[in-house]
A and B are shown apart, each in its own frame.
Chain A
Amino acid sequence: MKKITRRQALGATAGALTALGLTAAAAGATSAAATPAEPTTPGTVDEVYQGRRIQITPGGGGHHGGHHSPGQPTVRIDGRELHIMRNADGTWISVINHYETFAEPKLLARAAVRDLQGAALVPFGGAA
């Protein structure tokens, strides 16, 4: 299935986003129940933080839609991908925190959970 990028998702209609969101939320819940937390590869994170599931897959795989550099980890919150970007000094920013840098993706993901205050990410290239 053709993945959509977050930029494209932002351009979609509210109705389409809602439809995608419901599907993605259901898929996320299913995988959360089925997958035990067993970090094996270095850089892999699978944790529940403030009630939200954070999953980080090291670079090379994951749900990349060609929107960022190869080798970049994939960060998901409750099954939805969080768009992250790397800075010149190796720090990270996310679409939730565009004006603050983080030393590692896990810290960025936790900050995003704190700022989301329970809200669901708009899906892009993810479970849908």
Chain B
Amino acid sequence: MHTRQNQKNLTSAQKKRFTAAVLELKRSGAYDALVRTHDKYFVPDRDRKLRVGHMSPSFFPWHRRYLLEFERQLQEIDAGVSVPYWDWTTDSSPASSLWADDFLGGTGRTGDRKVMTGPFAYDKGNWTVTVGITESAFLTRNLGRPQNPITLPTAAELQWAIDDPTYDVAPWDSTATAGGFRNKLEGWAAPKSERWRNHNKVHQWIGGHMTGGTAPNDPAFWLHHAFVDLIWDRWQQKHPGSGYLPAAPLAVGDLQRGRVIARDEPMPPWNITPREMSDHRSLYRYE
């Protein structure tokens, strides 16, 4: 049992241990395998294939299991490390300590958006992007997108998702707009007047690698998704009578049959079910 802390409360020693473990995972090659996994399981909802990571109800349990994989690998390097979470509704500035030199480093430079500060700056020699969409070997960011500014989700925007008592609704994809906590938090259900909300919007705000399929190249990915994981907790506490949906495999004839994971169906690549992932309290807690 370990505790996932709010990143703003970490001591400088804890930040150092976390970043050192991440760098060691990168050095061993295991980190890049995780990046590849994320890219592989991003299947769009027009495809007639199983959608397990995104645009589907299993968005929350799939990412919970994915973060656990990352965290277990970090703990094999340093048993005292856990994944911190980033509450982007409160630490919402590029000047936050999250982006300081002793933690994740700051935004990218003008021109090519290359991150120049912190432990993951390419020029430090410990963070070469190998599983990328482009040929660039350096990590990129564009915090707040200054040339076309975007703000991080507000507490009210987050609450709009948490207040929805239904976990997810048909057709269980990015077009599920008849309600549903999952799509409101993942962010595709933003009102037409807005382009993004919540989870998706945070990827946009960070920019660079975080907007693409290989987003976990940026270690900020894990802190973002740890908060998304905590939000799932908060939703469960607010709606104790609600649970993961669909509860049973979809009926024959349903176009989403075979494309969406029901509560007791196994999620690749780990073959663990959403039900098994719905309660994390035997594994870790949030401060």
Name B135's contact: one of A98, A117, A119 (CB within 8 Å).
A119
Name A87's contact: one of B46, B130, B200, B207 (CB within 8 Å).
B46
Nearest to B46 among chain A residues (CB) is A86
Known A118-B112, A121-B133, A121-B135; judge A99-B196 contact (CB<8 A).
yes
B58 at the interface (CB under 8 A from A): no
A105 at the interface (CB under 8 A from B): no
Contact assessment for A98 and B211 in the assembled complex, using a CB-CB cutoff below 8 Å: yes
Contact assessment for A119 and B200 in the assembled complex, using a CB-CB cutoff below 8 Å: no
Nearest to A21 among chain B residues (CB) is B135
| Per-position binary interface string of chain A over residues 53-87, scored 1 when its CB falls under 8 Å from any chain B CB and 0 otherwise | 00000000000000011000000000000010111
| Interface bin, chain A | 20 to 34
B28 at the interface (CB under 8 A from A): no
Name A100's contact: one of B140, B195, B215 (CB within 8 Å).
B195
What separation, in Å, do the CA atoms of A83 and B141 have in the docked complex? 21
A29 at the interface (CB under 8 A from B): no
Within the complex, the shortest CB–CB distance from A85 to chain B, in Å, comes to 4
Known A96-B212, A100-B204; judge A88-B196 contact (CB<8 A).
no
Name A99's contact: one of B46, B134, B135, B211 (CB within 8 Å).
B211
Interface of B is mostly: loop
Contact assessment for B36 and A87 in the assembled complex, using a CB-CB cutoff below 8 Å: no
B180 at the interface (CB under 8 A from A): no
Interface centre among B112, B133, B199 (most CB of A within 10 A): B133
B136 at the interface (CB under 8 A from A): yes
Within the complex, the shortest CB–CB distance from A60 to chain B, in Å, comes to 17
A26 at the interface (CB under 8 A from B): no
What separation, in Å, do the CA atoms of A7 and B131 have in the docked complex? 10
Within the complex, the shortest CB–CB distance from A50 to chain B, in Å, comes to 12
Nearest to A25 among chain B residues (CB) is B135
What separation, in Å, do the CA atoms of A88 and B56 have in the docked complex? 12
Contacts of A98 in B (CB 8 A): 42, 54, 203, 211-213, 215
Contact assessment for A122 and B204 in the assembled complex, using a CB-CB cutoff below 8 Å: no
| Per-position binary interface string of chain B over residues 93-119, scored 1 when its CB falls under 8 Å from any chain A CB and 0 otherwise | 000000000000000000111000000
B132 at the interface (CB under 8 A from A): yes
Known A87-B46, A89-B175, A99-B200; judge A7-B135 contact (CB<8 A).
no
Interface residues of A in 1-46 (CB under 8 A from B): 6-7, 10-11, 14, 17-18, 21
Interface residues of B in 155-213 (CB under 8 A from A): 171, 173-175, 187-188, 195-196, 199-200, 203-204, 207, 211-213
A10-B36, A97-B212 known, 15 other contacts, Cβ within 8 Å = A7-B40, A11-B36, A14-B130, A68-B47, A98-B215, A99-B187, A99-B199, A99-B203, A99-B204, A100-B200, A115-B207, A116-B134, A121-B134, A122-B134, A122-B135
Closest 6 CB pairs of A and B: A85-B44, A119-B134, A86-B46, A99-B200, A99-B203, A88-B45
Q: Name 16 A/B residue pairs within 8 A (Cβ), A-sorted.
A: A7-B39, A10-B39, A69-B47, A85-B46, A95-B213, A97-B212, A98-B54, A98-B203, A99-B200, A99-B204, A99-B211, A100-B211, A101-B174, A117-B111, A121-B134, A122-B133
